[in-house]
């Protein structure tokens, strides 16, 4: 069969490096389009004649669209041909950014962001699935890490370049640039789709079969770990700028460099996490969650000392981004081929819920009058919950995969005879 031949050819390694590079470019494009808004908000608020707080709704509307729209799209597009779906979604992502670039008021701008967020929510699970399909099973962790590497690079390069472009040519230019980059990536990523394994016929069970994946305890566990890890991280990261300036004592100009360092740490952690995941998926999940808790606690303890705080910030980003390929690979392992897109979409929703929860929790701590150093300490406590859940899941997996003990019963005649001879 053609599908079988494609599966053998793709996983033999020919062209895998190029394919993963294309997927990294795609995730970089999506990541840049998502986070670039942070550097453009003041200019957008001024041009749209809205308060900065209202302009901030562009961030929350994007996140909520991913949370709510992603699972719906996964269910309604599950039967679509992968190549056609990829081209359509990439085109929609470009159109969303074009709409934002052309917007003359705040509401059309918001509508463009929602269109882009809908495409984003469905594209990332597809990218992870393609990455898993084009490599042997023992290299899934590294392949998934290459996709999420695009987000780290977006933080390092996409955000500052997008901000600089917006300051130079106006904020609309950044939206145009992302739209063009999305269109440029559409052709090579579409070329990957025909070479990825199709869904086996025996796994095609309808939408009800897809929904059953949400009742799988292993899927629930890994999405829970994802939400808790995101909440732990964003309890501190949402307010990292005032933490670095008001508590650690850095100037505002140094914060830009430190955020760049955070992105570098994320890149290193992502690559290391992928390698660890290749060795042991649940081991990488547990180790990353433990490292995340330790790094956040260290950041809180050393918040008044510049050098240790910088080191803690680097370790914090490395630990968090090491967790991402581990939890995504775990989900690919436990979800069926048919239902994994829905499962990955729900995982993306869990990440965004955790991000919102972390921001809310950090705000409550500040409102209660606690010092900013308590933000990473609280995040560390949430990370411990993620670690406990990961350890419980690891123990359960060991029990499920342990070889069954031989059943006790009457000895065979030959066995009894051998014992008699032995005596």
How many angstroms separate the CA atoms of 347 and 327, rounded?
9
Q: Whole-prediction pTM value?
A: 0.75
Lowest mean pLDDT among 198-207, 252-261, 381-390: 198-207
262, 317 Cβ separation under 8 angstroms = yes
Lowest mean pLDDT among 213-222, 267-276, 278-287: 213-222
* pLDDT above 90: residue 246: no
Question: Angle formed by the axes of helices 217-237 and 306-334, to 10°?
Answer: 160
379, 296 Cβ separation under 8 angstroms = yes
321, 267 Cβ separation under 8 angstroms = yes
Q: How many residues does the chain have?
A: 423
Backbone angles phi, psi at 92, to 5 degrees: -65, -40
pLDDT digits over 368-380, tens only?
Answer: 888 888 999 999 9
Over range 111-135, report the average pLDDT: 88
Cα–Cα distance list, 93 to 112, 170, 172, 180, 253 (Å)? 9, 21, 16, 10, 33
What pLDDT score does 195 carry?
Answer: 53
* pLDDT above 80: residue 135: yes
Lowest mean pLDDT among 20-29, 234-243, 390-399: 234-243
Highest mean pLDDT among 81-85, 207-211, 370-374: 370-374
303, 243 Cβ separation under 8 angstroms = yes
Lowest mean pLDDT among 149-153, 267-271, 290-294, 411-415: 411-415
DSSP 51-116: -HHHHTHHHHHHHHHHHHHHHHHHHHSTTS-HHHHHHHHHHHHHHHHHHHHH-SSHHHHHHHHHHH
* pLDDT above 50: residue 202: no
């Amino acid at each position: 069969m053609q599908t079988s031949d494609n599966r053998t050819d793709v996983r033999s390694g020919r062209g895998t490096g190029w394919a993963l590079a294309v997927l990294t470019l795609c995730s970089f494009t999506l990541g840049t389009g998502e986070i670039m808004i942070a550097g453009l908000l003041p200019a957008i608020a001024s041009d749209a004649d809205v308060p900065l707080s209202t302009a901030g709704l562009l961030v929350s509307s994007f996140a909520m669209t991913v949370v709510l729209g992603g699972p719906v799209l996964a269910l309604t597009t599950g039967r679509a041909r992968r190549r056609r779906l990829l081209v359509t979604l990439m085109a929609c992502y470009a159109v969303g950014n074009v709409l934002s670039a052309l917007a003359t008021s705040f509401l059309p701008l918001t509508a463009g962001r929602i269109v882009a967020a809908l495409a984003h929510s469905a594209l990332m699970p597809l990218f992870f699935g393609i990455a898993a399909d084009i490599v042997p099973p023992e290299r899934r962790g590294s392949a998934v890490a290459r996709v999420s590497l695009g987000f780290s690079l977006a933080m390092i390069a996409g955000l500052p370049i997008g901000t600089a472009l917006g300051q130079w040519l106006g904020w609309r230019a950044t939206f145009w640039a992302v739209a063009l980059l999305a269109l440029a990536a559409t052709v090579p990523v579409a070329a990957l789709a025909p070479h990825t394994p199709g869904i086996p016929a025996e796994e095609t069970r309808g939408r009800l079969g897809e929904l059953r994946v949400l009742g799988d305890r292993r899927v629930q566990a890994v999405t829970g770990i994802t939400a808790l890890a995101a909440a732990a991280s964003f309890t501190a990261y949402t307010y990292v700028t005032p933490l670095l300036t008001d508590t650690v004592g850095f100037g505002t100009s140094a914060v830009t460099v430190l955020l760049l360092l955070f992105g570098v740490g994320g890149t290193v952690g992502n690559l290391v996490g992928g390698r660890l995941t290749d060795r042991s998926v649940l081991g990488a999940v547990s180790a990353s969650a433990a490292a995340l808790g330790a790094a956040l606690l260290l950041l809180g303890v050393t918040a008044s000392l510049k050098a240790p705080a910088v080191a803690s910030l680097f370790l914090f980003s490395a630990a968090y981004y090491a967790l991402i390929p581990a939890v995504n690979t775990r989900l690919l392992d436990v979800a069926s081929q048919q239902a994994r897109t829905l499962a990955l979409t729900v995982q993306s929703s869990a990440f965004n819920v955790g991000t919102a929860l972390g921001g809310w929790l950090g705000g409550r701590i500040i409102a209660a009058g606690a010092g900013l150093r308590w933000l990473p300490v609280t995040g560390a406590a949430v990370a411990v919950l993620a670690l406990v859940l990961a350890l419980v899941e690891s123990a359960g997996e060991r029990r499920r995969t342990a070889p069954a003990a031989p059943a006790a019963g009457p000895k065979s005649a030959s066995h009894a005879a051998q014992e008699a001879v032995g005596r």
